[in-house]
Amino acid sequence: MSREVLEQARDALVEAGITGPHKSHSRRNAIGKIHQITCGDTDDTFGLSGLPDHSAEEILSFVSKLTGCRPGIADETGYDDIDPELTVDGIVAAARALKGFADRKASLLIATGHPTGMLEHNIRVADAYKRAGGTILKLREGEQIVPGRGRNFEVRYTGGVGCLADWGALMHTHSAAAMEALLDVEPWPDVVFGDHGWAGAAIERGIPTVAVIDINDPALAVAWAEGKDMWAVPLDDNRPPGLYEPSWRLFEEILAGEM
């Protein structure tokens, strides 16, 4: 793979605000999430167990190693950075892993808790995965799977990508409940691509998972540091959809065997 191509992708990702200086979450927000998961906050644990076994300082060290953000649990000032080199390395490793699964015609479940950010990106990845020979699973499509106070939560698949939906509205969610409900039935996917609880619930069950990890998603950084079966892609998961093009182009080219 050409160094020039990777440098161009890195620069484009920084310009789009997908990596580099963070655009969406303050340092205080990110540190607050760490304290929440050490207390067992159910949504921000993303369905992962054992998080309170780690101190806040230790968890921040995992996040820092994964994303390049600055260490120091008492430092809550301003905004942080994601290291662009770590983002590009994560994309390349994840795409190569998916290529290996697609070559074996393995099944992929792809989903996002950020439909206003990651949906178009994930549709592009799903299409590239199918072109590479893999299959896309749409588990429990059309079923009401998550009870909720008179609301009708289900998983809706758009372009093969699952999102939590309440009738006609696709929803932002950190919860693992929807993915846990999908995994109550078989067949399980051979590999998962997701974020938030979609990734966490799959990792918890030992399913190989590509996990998009934002700077304020410390639960997934803990799973990564513990050596779970996953590939971590550190980036801002809530930017306008079209800005993710440099990322999905890398996935497309690697899945097509061009890089």
- pLDDT of res. 2: 81
Domain ranges of the chain: 3-255
**pLDDT score for 150:** 59
- Opening angle at CA 179, ends 55 and 64, nearest 5: 30
Non-local (6+) Cβ contacts of 58 within 8 A are none
Contact 215, 33 (CB under 8 A): no
Q: What is the pLDDT along the chain (259 residues), one digit of tens a residue?
A: 688 889 999 999 999 999 999 988 899 999 999 999 998 767 899 999 999 999 999 999 999 999 999 998 998 998 999 999 999 999 999 999 999 999 999 999 999 999 999 999 999 999 999 999 999 999 998 787 766 565 678 999 999 999 999 888 999 999 999 999 999 988 899 999 999 999 999 999 999 999 999 999 999 999 999 999 999 999 999 999 999 999 999 999 999 998 7
Q: What is the model's pTM? A: 0.95
Question: What is d(CA 89, CA 65) in angstroms, rounded to the nearest whole number?
Answer: 13
Return the pLDDT at 243: 97
Alpha carbon distance 110, 136 (integer Å): 8
3-state secondary structure of 247: helix
Q: How many CA atoms lie within 13 A of 126 on its CB side?
A: 23
Nearest to 122 by CA among 248, 259, 257: 248
Give, to the nearest 10 degrees, the angle between helix 84-103 and helix 3-16: 120
Find the length of the chain: 259
Alpha carbon of residue 120 to chain centroid: 14
Q: What is the pLDDT of residue 43?
A: 86
In this prediction, residue 99 carries a pLDDT of 98
Question: Would you state the CATH architecture of domain 3-255?
Answer: 3-Layer(aba) Sandwich (3.40)
